[in-house]
Amino acid sequence: MTHKQVRLGMPGVRGQDEPAFDSLRPPSPELVDDCVHCGFCLTTCPTYALWGEEMDSPRGRIHLMKTGLEGAPLSDTMVGHFDACLGCMACVTSCPSGVQYDRLIEATRAQVERRHDRTPKDRALRSAIFALFPYPRRLRILRGPLRLTQRLGADRLLRRSGLLERLSPQLATMQSLAPQLGKAEPTPERTPAVGERRAVVGMLTGCVQREFFPGVNAATARVLAAEGCDVIAPRSQGCCGALSTHTGREEEGRAFARALIDTFTAAGVDHVVVNSAGCGSSMKEYVHLLADDPDYAQRAADFSARVRDFAEIIAELGPVAPRHPVEAVAAYHDACHLAHAQGIRSQPRELLRAVPGLEVREIPDSEICCGSAGVYNVLNPEPARELGDRKAANILSTGAELLVTANPGCLMQVATSLERSGRRIRLAHTALVLDASIRGVPLETI
């Protein structure tokens, strides 16, 4: 479809009177019709929890999609409510009618990205994010100066000055989210199984995970090896495309997906293991993302079927490596893309509870998102901050001294929120805890 228009730097839709969606993969009317408007999704929706209004609830957004399909234009208002969705998929969990909101919002976002003109400022921010995050090499370049400012304490100075906040709240958020960086720790391309080999697994090293949390990747490889896996981490692998796909940049996401499928097909592995919840969920969705691509549809389906979350594969294989005690009181935080999008709740809890000395506590309102949601906290700093503060309060109420979760985004968001509350507790990825237990080393040394 071609659109004639003059851009005057104003936000809006190309052709104000056109219906919200064109014919290229609009949200499916059949899936929209599955919603019976019962409202069971409302209380688990983070934006409904914040604002208590229908149009910022899953049921309300589906209603907006419906009006769009019936011919209503893609107004700024409508786009605002779609943009406000965190994509946490808590509604998918709570829906008794099995509405596939994940598919609906993804299709809607792709239409929004293609057909809605964002403000120049918003466009610039999005371009910057997507020119940076999906590229580990570019992130690596950022590591040096970031680490330097952190070591000099310049980052705290910058934060206190409020300079960035005045310039752009989004930039300020990005800066505040950056974790304390340790030294780089590349994952070996091949880690042989310890003892009997039970599986050959590929390992996604990720972008943010690889550059900002290299210790997590190293621990993941060690634990997998200790549990009898040959671990292959191809150096040539790129981004999985989760951030792009979940933000409606479909074509970009597809290109990343095809490249990753090629890489891991060449590696010849039984499973592809992912230690980042958002990446894992998007890789399991390649089957939908590439369904219309004749060359890749089947390969994507095969690939998605082989993707496993880190905790999922270990539970599936059955843990065999002996555990040493880790004396701590921990709270386990469900990453939305693990619990809601992949349905993985019991496996990480069981693995953690099997660690001698480790007490695992539940966090109240655990189904509500922490506000990280991919790049949501960068694009929508205010609601993200509010959700982060609620999450921090709930975490602190458990009295835990250690927070365990399985997603780099959650780790950064929760760390920033806890810091804002003035309280600090230690944070660790599930893999770090298991690695410490298997190796018998104190958690602090990792």
Partner 1 sequence: MATHPGHPSVPDRSDGMMHGLDPAAEDRAQTAPAGAPSRGGTVADVLAELRGTLPDEALLTDPARLATYECDGLAAYRVTPGLVVLASTPEHVAATVRACARHAVPFVARGSGTGLSGGALPHAEGVLVVTSRLRTLHEVSAADQRAVVDPGVINLQVTKMATPEGYYFAPDPSSQQICSIGGNVAENSGGAHCLKYGFTTNHVLSLDIVTPDGDQVTLGTRAPDAPGYDLVGAFVGSEGTLGVATRATVRLVRLPQEVRTVLAGFAGTDEAGAATSAIIAAGIVPAAIEIMDALAIEAAEAAVSCGYPAGAGAVLVVELDGARHEVADEYAAVERICRQEGAFEFRMATDAAERAAIWKGRKSAFAAVGRISPDYIVQDGVVPRTALPEVLRQMTRISAEQGVRVANVFHAGDGNLHPLVLFDGSKAGETERAEAVSGMILDLCIEHGGSITGEHGVGSDKAKYMPRMFTDDDLDTMQLVRCAFDPHGIANPGKIYPTPRLCGERSGRRQGAHPLQEAGLGEVF
Positions in the binding site for partner 1 (CB under 8 A): 33-34, 36-40, 42-43, 51-55, 60, 63-64, 67, 72, 75, 77-78, 81, 94-98
Task: Give the strand pairing for 307-309 and 199-203.
Answer: unpaired
Which residue lies nearer to partner 1 by CB, 85 or 232? 85
> Rounded to the nearest whole angstrom, what is the least distance from the CB of residue 171 to partner 1 in the complex?
26
The DSSP bridge partners found for residue 199 are 229
Nearest by Cα to 273 from 203, 214, 332:
203
**Strand ranges inside 222-267, DSSP E:** 229-232
Which residue lies nearer to partner 1 by CB, 94 or 175? 94
Which residue lies nearer to partner 1 by CB, 39 or 162? 39
Which residue lies nearer to partner 1 by CB, 125 or 368? 368
Please say whether the beta carbons of 312 and 273 come within 8 A.
no
Which residue lies nearer to partner 1 by CB, 81 or 284? 81
Which residue lies nearer to partner 1 by CB, 63 or 299? 63
> Rounded to the nearest whole angstrom, what is the least distance from the CB of residue 65 to partner 1 in the complex?
11
Say how far apart CA 218 and CA 203 lie, in whole Å: 11
> Rounded to the nearest whole angstrom, what is the least distance from the CB of residue 94 to partner 1 in the complex?
8
User: Distances from the Cα of 276 to the Cαs of 134, 290, 388, in angstroms?
Assistant: 14, 21, 19
The DSSP bridge partners found for residue 443 are none
Instruction: Report residue 291 CA to chain centroid gap.
Output: 22
Which residue lies nearer to partner 1 by CB, 51 or 135? 51
Question: 100: which residues sit within 8 A by CB, 6+ positions away?
Answer: 31, 34, 92
The DSSP bridge partners found for residue 190 are 232
Question: Which two tokens mark 104?
Answer: 């609906």
Say how far apart CA 57 and CA 54 lie, in whole Å: 5
Say which amino acid occupies 182. G
Q: SS3 of 329, please?
A: strand
Which residue lies nearer to partner 1 by CB, 93 or 265? 93
Instruction: List, as one string, the DSSP characters of 263-279.
Output: HHHHHT-SEEEESSHHH
Question: 314: which residues sit within 8 A by CB, 6+ positions away?
Answer: 223, 224, 227, 347, 351, 434
Q: How far apart are the first and last CA of the chain?
A: 54
Give the Cβ contact number of residue 3 at 10 Å. Answer: 12
- Which residue, chain included where needed, has tokens 């599986």? 199
What would you report as the CA-atom Rg of the chain, rounded to the nearest whole angstrom? 22
> Rounded to the nearest whole angstrom, what is the least distance from the CB of residue 42 to partner 1 in the complex?
5
Which residue lies nearer to partner 1 by CB, 63 or 306? 63
Question: Which two tokens mark 348?
Answer: 């990480």
Which residue lies nearer to partner 1 by CB, 60 or 278? 60
> Rounded to the nearest whole angstrom, what is the least distance from the CB of residue 6 to partner 1 in the complex?
25
> Any idea what the Cα angle at residue 278 is, between residues 277 and 284, rounded to 5°?
90
Which residue lies nearer to partner 1 by CB, 74 or 418? 74
